[in-house]
Amino acid sequence: KGSKFRLPIPDHLQLVLNSCNEDNPGKNADYIPELRDADSNRLGVAVSTVDGFVYTAGDVDIPFSIQSISKAFVYALAIEEHGLDYVLTRVGVEPSGEAFNELSLEQDTCRPLNPMINAGAITTHTLIGKADTSYEERFEKIRKGLSKFAGRELEVDENVYNSEMKHAFRNLAIANMLRNYNVFDLDPKKVVEGYTRQCAVLVTAKDLAVMAATLANTGIQPVTGEQVVRPQTVRQTLSVMMTCGMYDGAGDWVTKIGFPAKSGVAGGIIGALPGQVGISTFSPKLDKHGNSVRGVRICQRLSDDMGLHIMQQP
């Protein structure tokens, strides 16, 4: 099962990095010291084919927190556990056009608009497990699930977790809003703790490329061969990434770059091309939407060079 385009040989990836590295605009996320003080010169790109070849250039072995990129995978795990119909009754699929941490709900249904903004992601987090699942068990299920996508055991950065909890006022407000509208009936503080641990899971750009390649490969992890989630689950997840993955930068992203993607505030981005490749980039400085500036550039360049825009004829 080969990819239909010219393979991204390491030389090519290094050229792409060089071409995106002339300047380094944007700003590290600064709401916690761990992200504010992260080395903003870091730059890496990894591409994993659906048959498990991983091509890399730059800083692809540096661990950083997965942050919002986890939202896509946990959404997939929730669908896998409860089925799409049920998950849709709890979280919508409409792009919000709002910032990722907006306090908003759909008017008639009181559902969060989509699983990629915090309100939807915090709700999706609660969908893992059953009514009697403890908060600890829920997180452990999520950590194990994310680890299956990565093909290795992932761990939490406790410093990032503790720092985030000291500044989690906005996510606590969102969780309290959700509890108020009976979107879930769990303890909002405990839910935010679990969600924040989920965001503090450490990954490298190499991990993320393989995780994305699992989505590109109908849910089969290309290295371990494990069917982590079903093809229908992947279709739903990639569709939501396509429309909502880059927050209020989603329209720009879809028109210019044109493949499903998800970003995180630590500077990671993943992209997935069904049947072809998983892509990841790492560069900590963010634009005003919270997407990595040089990460977006690299994806733009790869999309152009390799003809990855899904609206473009091969």
Binding residues for ligand GLN, per CB under 6 A?
67-68, 100-101, 118, 164, 171, 199, 264-265, 290
Pick 40 or 101: Cβ nearer ligand GLN:
101
Q: Check 45, 54, 71, 148 and give the catalytic one.
A: 71
| Residue 195 designated active-site | yes
Pick 101 or 224: Cβ nearer ligand GLN:
101
Half-sphere exposure of 190 (CA within 13 A, CB side): 12
Q: Cβ of residue 295: shortest distance to ligand GLN, in angstroms?
A: 12
CA distances from residue 311 to 189, 257, 259, 271 in whole angstroms, order as listed? 43, 10, 9, 15
Q: Cβ of residue 105: shortest distance to ligand GLN, in angstroms?
A: 17
Half-sphere exposure of 296 (CA within 13 A, CB side): 23
Contact present, 48 and 277 (Cβ < 8 Å): yes
Q: Cβ of residue 74: shortest distance to ligand GLN, in angstroms?
A: 12
Q: Cβ of residue 117: shortest distance to ligand GLN, in angstroms?
A: 9
User: How large is the C-alpha radius of gyration of the chain?
Assistant: 18
Pick 34 or 80: Cβ nearer ligand GLN:
34
Contact present, 119 and 102 (Cβ < 8 Å): yes
What is the Cα–Cα distance from 85 to 259, expressed in whole angstroms?
A: 25
| Residue 68 designated active-site | yes
Contact present, 299 and 269 (Cβ < 8 Å): yes
| Residue 247 designated active-site | yes
Tokens of 105: 């709900």
| Residue 75 designated active-site | no
Pick 108 or 169: Cβ nearer ligand GLN:
169
What is the Cα–Cα distance from 117 to 106, expressed in whole angstroms?
A: 13
Other C-beta atoms closer than 10 Å to the C-beta of 250 total 22
Q: Cβ of residue 171: shortest distance to ligand GLN, in angstroms?
A: 5
Strand order in the sheet with 268-273: 54-58, 44-49, 277-282, 268-273, 261-263
| Residue 135 designated active-site | no
Q: Check 195, 203, 228, 263 and give the catalytic one.
A: 195
Pick 247 or 259: Cβ nearer ligand GLN:
247
Tokens of 268: 């990671």
Q: Check 265, 277, 293, 296 and give the catalytic one.
A: 265
Q: Check 3, 48, 68, 303 and give the catalytic one.
A: 68
Nearest residue relative to ligand GLN (C-beta): 68
Measuring CA to CA, which residue among 150, 98, 122 is closest to residue 290? 98
Q: Check 55, 75, 161, 247 and give the catalytic one.
A: 247
Catalytic residues: 68, 71, 195, 247, 265
